[in-house]
Amino acid sequence: METNPTAERHAFYTCPLCEATCGLDITLRGDEILRIRGDKEDVFSKGFVCPKGATLKHLHEDPDRLRQPMIRHGETWREVDWDEAFAEVERGLMPIVEAHGRDAVAMYFGNPNVHNLAGSLYARPLAKALRSKNVYSASTVDQMPKHVACGLLFGNPDLIPVPDLDRTDYLLMLGANPMHSNGSLCTAPDFPGRLKAIQQRGGKVVVVDPRRSWTAQKADEHLFIRPGTDVYLLFAIIHTLFDENLANPGEWADYATGIAEVEELVRSFSPEAVASITGVEAGTIRRLARELAAAPTAAVYGRIGTHTVAFGTLSSWAVDVINLITGNLDRAGGAMFPHAAHSRPHPDTPGGRGFVMGRWHSRVRRLPEVRGELPVATLADEIETPGDGQVRALLTIAGNPVLSTPHSARLDAALASLDFMVSVDPYLNETTRHAHVILPPPPPLARSHYDYVFYRFSVRNVVNYSPPLVEEDGMPEHDILARLTLIVGGQGADADPALVHAMLLAEAAKRAVSSPGSPVAGREANELLDELEERPPTDRIVDLLLRTGPYGDGFGAKRDGLSLAQLEAHPHGIDLGPLAPQLPAALRTPSGKIELAAAPIVADVARLAAALDDYFSGAETKPFVLVGRRHLRSNNSWMHNIEVLVKGKDRCTLHLHPDDAAPLGLADGDLAEVASSVGRVEVPVEITRDIMPGVVSLPHGWGHDQPGTRLAVAGRYPGVNANVLTDPAAIDPLSGNAVLNGVPVTVKVATLELV
């Protein structure tokens, strides 16, 4: 880049930290970042940012951020060059593969993979090259239930409807707190402003949450719910819609199978039957159903609090069943399917192979595979349990499972027992301290960005491309992942990463020319590749996908169609308009219809009924249930090393209702001991009426007091790790997702132990 090194310049960049995709206006002098603000001209975020966006500067400059690969010898680390690092990876990993087979090597992919192009494009090929059953990711502590529900309903686990926030008249939101999280599986920069707009145009926002969250405070109505019981509330809404003849799927009746079975499935879950388990009065449930049916348009949206629970898949399914039977699925103002500019155009006829899971099972607990992975709740079992196929080596890529997955103290010990571990990560943290080799990628502003994953979950169809703004010596993350792919694929540490880049590009071109409905259908793949401009490999893939996508230039087929060059000419993004109906063309079920009553769903309803019986029989449980929460100034486990975000009041506190605190003898600021079936923590109490009696809340991602990390700031604000308390035995069996909300615990005054 030819720039005057002393002149200030503005550059625009899409924030990759969360799902909101805010446009940033960044002032630089040479490679120095001077200021970061919201980009007022961004077509989607229009100037909105949160406090984290500006800290990309601090992240960039963090002296603890790793810039060189490192190899560990016992407790000491040595900085090495890249060739030595990859040679060490090969030396450590391949003898394990040779002696014990491919399943002896596991992989864990963490959340930031979906926030950068390298992870989004290269993670799957890496897993494929390894050919191990032991692939894990943060998805099974997050949204896997939604994938399963949508996979069964629509035939494609990635075809997930989002609430059409900007046009809806009625939003029922369960277990989400977008005022803090800025939205998830619903990309909507300035979520707060969009909620307010619903109210300003006369609509209504209802929030269901065991806490009176910031979002609940802004809503028109807030309902407390007993953790883990949304599924009953949702089933009772469906029950009422049928019972009161309010079900009106409209034209969808012709495109859906199983409506009558659904009516049968919910029959025993009347509002009256579930009122006591949910804590929501029957009359209120009936009113919600009536309001949903009567609203001109309405959308039901559930997130973390409905996913990371024992009936995550059934809750996710019920959300979209309500959207469908109230006639709100796939229509403006309801729950709609985005069609990202880089996705493939739909073929002319709906239908496909459908969604298959359980193609293999985990060795120890026999848990089914879902979307090519196993539940991370069973990773420690696979490492600890001797026998054929025992996991002896691990690759973590952008993940911190020691803080983010259940029973983390046990996983921590399991990682310490591995023969070999490699981490692709910019920090030496609670997880990567167990690695033998750490490979650090460059930070966000030194790489290009195109929001590959979240444009698929976006409330408008939007595209924006950000070129890298500053240079940093080091290896691009796509090269790191490509070299790991070559190593595990048996081609060796010296093989050229360009081989992987070329292969991925060729595969993308081949798919484009062979997909029905594609603007380049029938053309030669090589012809397209020759026409692509010279760019970094990730960007070439995006260019190819954009050009062959639903808005693309089709390599000459459509004048003014999209290409990456077009996006470069529009640094504030291009707005492709509000969401448009996608059904039935997008359906990939074998029947070509929405399959409402898939066998796994029907079977799981029996478990739901049994759990209701257990509740009424007064089955033994602990006096409190634990839920999580997020804070605007925090981002899962990994941004606590940024002083401006963590300073001030301690945020890692236990929220407790005053009526619960008094009999326990706990006052604000006291240290409480919280114990579950697997662990205990001591944490300061914050007394608040904004939580239901009987429920306590602790945020996750904390617990930075482990030895051997290099997190100077985080170490001064350690907090405690909520996942010391979560039990890996508790999962949603259909999706394998861990139960992180609704964890039974006891709470008491922490007593000083005299040693």
Ligand X SMILES: Nc1nc2c(c(=O)[nH]1)N[C@H]1C(S)=C(S)[C@@H](COP(=O)(O)OP(=O)(O)OC[C@H]3O[C@@H](n4cnc5c(=O)[nH]c(N)nc54)[C@H](O)[C@@H]3O)O[C@H]1N2
For Mo ion, the binding residues (CB under 5 A) are 142
Nearer to Mo ion, 103 or 142 (CB): 142
Q: Which of residues 163-182 bind ligand SF4 (CB under 6 A)?
A: 182
Closest CA to 256 of 23, 596, 541: 596
CA distance 259 to 461: 31
- Using CB under 6 A as the binding rule, whether residue 635 contacts ligand X is answered as yes
Among ligand X, Mo ion, ligand SF4, none, partner that 399 touches (CB below 5 to 8 angstroms by kind): ligand X
Q: Which of 90, 103, 209, 604 binds ligand X (CB under 6 A)?
A: 209
- Answer yes or no: are the C-beta atoms of 581 and 327 closer than 8 Å: no
Could you give the maximum distance between any two Cα atoms of the chain, in Å?
77
- Using CB under 6 A as the binding rule, whether residue 52 contacts ligand SF4 is answered as yes
Give min distance, CB of 458 to ligand SF4, in A: 12
- Answer yes or no: are the C-beta atoms of 91 and 497 closer than 8 Å: no
Nearer to ligand SF4, 54 or 486 (CB): 54
Q: Which of 410, 629, 651, 657 binds ligand X (CB under 6 A)?
A: 629
- Using CB under 6 A as the binding rule, whether residue 279 contacts ligand X is answered as no
Among ligand X, ligand SF4, Mo ion, none, partner that 15 touches (CB below 5 to 8 angstroms by kind): ligand SF4
- Using CB under 6 A as the binding rule, whether residue 573 contacts ligand X is answered as no
Nearer to ligand SF4, 34 or 416 (CB): 34
- Using CB under 6 A as the binding rule, whether residue 636 contacts ligand X is answered as yes
Give min distance, CB of 122 to ligand SF4, in A: 22
- Using CB under 6 A as the binding rule, whether residue 26 contacts ligand SF4 is answered as no
Q: Which of residues 702-731 bind ligand X (CB under 6 A)?
A: 722-723, 726
Among ligand SF4, Mo ion, ligand X, none, partner that 209 touches (CB below 5 to 8 angstroms by kind): ligand X
Give min distance, CB of 464 to ligand SF4, in A: 12
Q: Which of 26, 50, 310, 421 binds ligand SF4 (CB under 6 A)?
A: 50
Q: Which of residues 294-353 bind ligand X (CB under 6 A)?
A: 303-306, 308-309
590: region left, alpha or beta (phi > 0 left; psi from -120 to 50 alpha):
alpha
Q: Which of residues 110-129 bind ligand X (CB under 6 A)?
A: 110-112, 116
Burial profile 317-353: b = 16 or more Cβ within 10 angstroms, e = fewer = bbbbbbbbbbbbbbbebbbbbbbbbbbbbbbeebbbe
Closest CA to 437 of 81, 130, 707: 81
- Using CB under 6 A as the binding rule, whether residue 181 contacts ligand X is answered as yes
Q: Which of 26, 28, 49, 59 binds ligand SF4 (CB under 6 A)?
A: 49
SS3 letters across 425-494:
CCCCCCCHHHCCEEECCCCHHHCCEECCCHHHHECEEEECEECCCCCCCCCCHHHHHHHHHHHHCCCCCC
Closest CA to 312 of 370, 240, 253: 370
- Answer yes or no: are the C-beta atoms of 685 and 653 closer than 8 Å: yes
541: which 2 tokens? Answer: 């893939």
The span of 135-143, 261-269, 559-567, 576-584 binding ligand X (CB under 6 A) equals: 135-143
- Using CB under 6 A as the binding rule, whether residue 391 contacts ligand SF4 is answered as no
Q: What angle do CA 213, 216, 219 make, to 5 degrees?
A: 160
- Answer yes or no: are the C-beta atoms of 536 and 476 closer than 8 Å: yes
In the complex, residue closest to ligand X by CB: 305
- Answer yes or no: are the C-beta atoms of 110 and 405 closer than 8 Å: no
CA distance 350 to 257: 14
- Using CB under 6 A as the binding rule, whether residue 182 contacts ligand X is answered as yes
Is the Cα torsion angle 262, 264, 265, 266 positive or negative in sign?
A: positive
Which three-class secondary structure state does DSSP give residue 232? helix
Among ligand X, Mo ion, ligand SF4, none, partner that 181 touches (CB below 5 to 8 angstroms by kind): ligand X
What is the rounded end-to-end Cα distance, in angstroms, of the chain?
63
Give min distance, CB of 621 to ligand SF4, in A: 37
Which three-class secondary structure state does DSSP give residue 552? strand
Give min distance, CB of 362 to ligand X, in A: 19
- Using CB under 6 A as the binding rule, whether residue 424 contacts ligand X is answered as yes
Q: Which of residues 141-170 bind ligand X (CB under 6 A)?
A: 141-142
The span of 175-183, 387-395, 577-585, 609-617 binding ligand X (CB under 6 A) equals: 175-183
Q: Which of residues 641-670 bind ligand X (CB under 6 A)?
A: none
Nearer to ligand SF4, 549 or 701 (CB): 701
Q: Which residues contact 91 (CB under 8 A, 6 or more apart)?
A: none
- Using CB under 6 A as the binding rule, whether residue 53 contacts ligand SF4 is answered as yes
- Answer yes or no: are the C-beta atoms of 393 and 371 closer than 8 Å: no
CA distance 157 to 354: 9
Give min distance, CB of 216 to ligand X, in A: 8
CA distance 275 to 225: 10
Among ligand X, ligand SF4, Mo ion, none, partner that 53 touches (CB below 5 to 8 angstroms by kind): ligand SF4
Give min distance, CB of 713 to ligand X, in A: 13
Is the Cα torsion angle 207, 208, 213, 217 positive or negative in sign?
A: positive
**Total residues binding ligand SF4 (CB under 6 A):** 12
The span of 21-29, 248-256, 425-433, 672-680 binding ligand X (CB under 6 A) equals: 425-433
The span of 146-154, 345-353, 418-426, 521-529 binding ligand X (CB under 6 A) equals: 418-426
CA distance 110 to 141: 10
- Using CB under 6 A as the binding rule, whether residue 213 contacts ligand X is answered as yes
- Using CB under 6 A as the binding rule, whether residue 397 contacts ligand X is answered as yes
Does the N-terminal peptide bond of residue 584 adopt cis geometry, omega within 30 degrees of 0? yes
- Answer yes or no: are the C-beta atoms of 314 and 608 closer than 8 Å: yes
SS3 letters across 364-433:
CCCCECECCECCHHHHHHHHHCCCCCCCCEEEEECCCHHHHCCCHHHHHHHHHCCCEEEEECCCCCCCHH
Nearer to ligand SF4, 182 or 636 (CB): 182
The span of 48-56, 163-171, 199-207, 477-485 binding ligand SF4 (CB under 6 A) equals: 48-56
- Binding-site ranges for ligand X (CB under 6 A): 18, 110-112, 116, 138, 141-142, 174-178, 180-182, 184, 208-211, 213, 225, 227-228, 230, 303-306, 308-309, 397-401, 404, 424-427, 429, 441, 477, 627-632, 634-638, 700-701, 722-723, 726, 740-742
- Binding-site ranges for ligand SF4 (CB under 6 A): 15, 17-18, 20-22, 49-50, 52-53, 182, 189
